[in-house]
Amino acid sequence: MSKEIVVSGIRSTGHLHLGNYFGAIQNYVMMQENYNCYFFVADYHSLTTHPDPKLLRPNVFRVLAENIASGLNPDKVTLYAQSDIPEIPELYLMLNMLAYKGELEKVPTFKDKVRQQPDNVNAGLLTYPVLMTADILIHKAVKVPVGKDQEQHLEMARNFAQRFNTRYGDFFPEPQVFRFNTDAVKIMSLDGNGKMSKSENANNTIYLSDDDDTIRKKIMKAKTDSGPTAPNAEMPGYIQNLFLLMQLTSTHEVYDHYRAAYNGCNIRYGDMKKQLAEDMAAFVRPIREHAAELQKDEESLGKILKAGAEKARASASATIAGARKLIGISYY
Ligand code: TYM
């Protein structure tokens, strides 16, 4: 039986963090054996914020190295840079004809960007979900492992796929969000304000490249309060986030111990954070060290991207040929 096709991407806009790891990469690693996986660095998507051209290459190599250091095996999955696949912008152009200004303007991530960068509300930002759809449909993927923040984009991808199929004939499957644990993981910033993110809030974000001391400092500064005042009290979001991180990195015993302390109103957040800091440092350390090692050998990383691009283009060109035919682009 042929394996189901999976696509996902990560923007090369900065250092990868725990949100990227637990929201996406952990699922990638778990999928690599049993699915036909295409994972890419979304360097075109990063251009919406006009990054310094000198930073593109190191950023792409870092994302690639951190993915491999997290456990992705380039022999098992296809790893490539989005910009190496010219069929993606071609499909993006085709899909743009089926995407409407009104619906794109309503997308919450677009509205956020308009607020964050009012001087640079470019068309690439507006059509960001269309490019994402092209990334997915170019391989006719059925499953897309992403964090909670990308779910709305996936819904749009299904709409665009459906619209194409209605107009030109059944061609694209409707891609679904996929994750192994049914709960969507959303890692919040350590100050409790919004999600952990690559570009904002460095002091409240734990990066896969952070050293042990930096991790300790950040976790010890994470927002807490004077503790629950009634047994089994509901947790505020920032405390929930610390427990989530503990659940993801500490042992069951440790997690259960602090959970019981919380429920019994005798939790000492200082002790909890000390424990979490040590467990987190131990968790990140091997990834950081392996990624640093890999980044020293750009030639090997380049070879991985090149081999990945060849495999990805084989699949992409078949899709584009089919789409052109259905649209009627066939002149000689
Ligand atoms: P990006 O680069 O912002 O994030 C990469 C992946 O990490 C997940 N993620 C999180 N999960 C949980 N908690 C967080 N705090 C957190 N922050 C990030 C994201 O959900 C994502 O899965 N538009 C995409 C990149 C992209 C893409 C695609 C993804 C481009 N084309 C096609 C899937 C399919 C993005 O900006 O992800």
Provide the pairing of β-strand 78-81 with 36-42. Answer: parallel
Q: Is the minimum distance from the CB of 245 to ligand 1 under 6 angstroms?
A: no
Ligand 1 near 8 CB (within 6 A): yes
Q: Give the closest residue (by CA) to ligand 1 atom 29.
A: 9
Distance CA 105, CA 97 (A): 15
Question: What's the rounded mean pLDDT across residues 59-86?
Answer: 98
Question: What's the gap in Å between 110 CA and the centre of ligand 1?
Answer: 15
Average of per-residue pLDDT across 304-322? 98
Look up residue 146 and give its two tokens.
């992403």
Residue-averaged pLDDT of the chain: 96
Residue in 67, 42, 26, 243 with CA at minimum distance from that of residue 129: 42
Task: Name the band, by pLDDT with cuts 50, 70 and 90, for residue 102.
Answer: very high
Residues taking part in catalysis: 113, 195, 198
CA 19 to ligand 1 center in whole angstroms: 9
User: pLDDT at position 182, please?
Assistant: 66
Q: What is the mean pLDDT of residues 142-148?
A: 96
Structural domains in the chain, sorted by start:
5-185+297-327 (3.40.50.620), 210-292 (1.10.240.10)
* Confidence at residue 187, expressed as pLDDT on a 0 to 100 scale: 94
Separation between Cα atoms, residue 21 and residue 65, nearest integer Å: 13
Residue located nearest, by CA, to atom 16 of ligand 1: 19
Burial of 316 (0-12, 13-18, 19+ CB in 10 A): buried
Amino acid letter, residue 110: F
46 pLDDT above the threshold of 90: yes
Residue 315, CA distances (Å) to 51, 193, 321 in order: 29, 41, 10
Q: Quick count: other Cβ atoms within 10 Å of Cβ 93?
A: 12
The reply to whether ligand 1 has any atom less than 6 angstroms from the CB of 320 is: no
Closest atom of ligand 1 to 153 CA is: 23
- Ligand 1 centre distance from Cα of residue 10 (Å): 6
Exposure of 41 in the CB half-sphere (CA atoms within 13 A): 32
Q: Which of 202, 175, 180, 183 is nearest to 191 (CA)?
A: 202
Residue 184 CB less than 6 A away from ligand 1? no
CA 274 – ligand 1 centroid, Å: 29
Q: Give the predicted TM-score (pTM) of the model.
A: 0.96
Q: Which structure tokens are listed for 218?
A: 């950040």
The protein residue with its alpha carbon nearest to ligand 1, atom 17, reads 19
Q: Averaged over 207-224, what is the pLDDT?
A: 98
Q: What percent of the chain clears pLDDT 70, i.e. is strictly above it?
A: 100
Pairing status of strand 78-81 against strand 143-144: unpaired
- With a 6 A CB cut-off, is 11 part of the ligand 1 pocket? yes
Relative to beta strand 176-177, strand 143-144 is parallel
| Nearest residue (CA) to ligand 1, atom 19 | 147
Q: How confident is the model at residue 183 (pLDDT cuts 50, 70, 90)?
A: confident
Average pLDDT over residues 47-57: 96
| Residue 332: C-alpha distances to residues 87, 182, 325, 329 (Å) | 20, 50, 12, 10
Percentage of the chain lying above the pLDDT 90 cut? 93
Distance 54 CA to ligand 1 centre (A): 23
Asked whether residue 200 carries a pLDDT value surpassing 90, the answer given is no
Structure confidence by residue, pLDDT tens digits, 246-264: 999 999 999 999 999 999 9
- Does ligand 1 have an atom closer than 6 angstroms to the CB of 45? yes
Given this model, what pLDDT does residue 103 score? 97
Sheet with strand 176-177: strands edge to edge: 78-81, 36-42, 5-11, 143-144, 176-177
Residues 6+ apart with CB under 8 A from 227: 262, 265, 267, 269
Expressed in angstroms and rounded, the spacing between residue 82 Cα and the centre of ligand 1 is 14
What is the distance between the alpha carbons of residues 67 and 74, in angstroms, rounded to a whole number?
10
> What confidence category does residue 56 fall into, taking pLDDT thresholds of 50, 70 and 90?
very high
- Residue 105: per-residue pLDDT: 97
Q: Are 92 and 320 in contact (CB under 8 A)?
A: no
Decide: 14 in ligand 1 pocket, CB within 6 A.
Answer: no
10-19, 120-129, 174-183: the lowest-pLDDT one: 174-183
Cβ–ligand 1 distance for 147 under 6 Å, the answer yes
Sorting pLDDT into bands at 50, 70 and 90, what band is 198? confident
Sign of CA dihedral 219, 222, 228, 233: negative
For residue 67, is pLDDT > 90?
A: yes
Pocket test for ligand 1, best of 5, 6, 7, 10 (most atoms within 8 A of CB): 10
Residue 89 corresponds to which amino acid?
P
Q: Is 132 in the pocket of ligand 1 (CB under 6 A)?
A: yes
| Look-up of token digits 């990066």 | 207
pLDDT at 1 over 80: no
